[in-house]
Amino acid sequence: MPLQSGLKPFCALPMHILAYHAGLIDGPDYAQNDHVALREDLEVIAHLGLRVLPLQTVVDALLGRRDWSTLDGAVALTCDDGTAFDALPGREYGAHGPQPSLLGVLQAWIDEDPASRSQASLTSFLIASPEARAAMDRHCLFDRNDLDSDWWAAAQGTGHMVFGNHSWDHNHPILPPEEALPLSRGDFFAVDDEAKADYEIAQAQAFLAEALGQRPTCFAYPFGHVPEFLRSTYLPRRGPELGLEAAFTTETGRVRPDSDRWALPRSVCRWHWKSPAELEALLTAD
**Annotated domain spans of the chain:** 16-284
Cα separation of 118 and 104, whole Å? 14
pLDDT exceeds 60 at position 135: yes
**pLDDT tens digits for range 164-220:** 999 999 999 999 988 889 999 999 999 999 999 999 999 999 999 999 999 999 999
**pLDDT tens digits for range 243-270:** 999 999 999 999 999 999 999 999 999 9
Average pLDDT over residues 230-250: 98
Judge whether 219 and 235 are in contact, CB under 8 Å.
yes
- What's residue 27's pLDDT? 96
**pLDDT tens digits for range 8-61:** 334 445 799 999 999 999 999 999 999 999 999 999 999 999 999 999 999 999
- What's residue 9's pLDDT? 38
- What's residue 12's pLDDT? 40
Cα separation of 21 and 269, whole Å? 8
Among residues 178, 170, 161, which one has the least CA distance to residue 129?
170
- What's residue 13's pLDDT? 52
The class that CATH gives domain 16-284 is alpha beta
Among residues 59, 55, 20, 13, which one has the least CA distance to residue 260?
59
Q: Cis omega before residue 222 (within 30°)? A: no
pTM of the model: 0.94
Cα separation of 147 and 167, whole Å? 14
Please give the share of the chain, as a percent, with pLDDT higher than 70: 95
- What's residue 255's pLDDT? 96
Q: What average pLDDT is seen over the chain?
A: 94
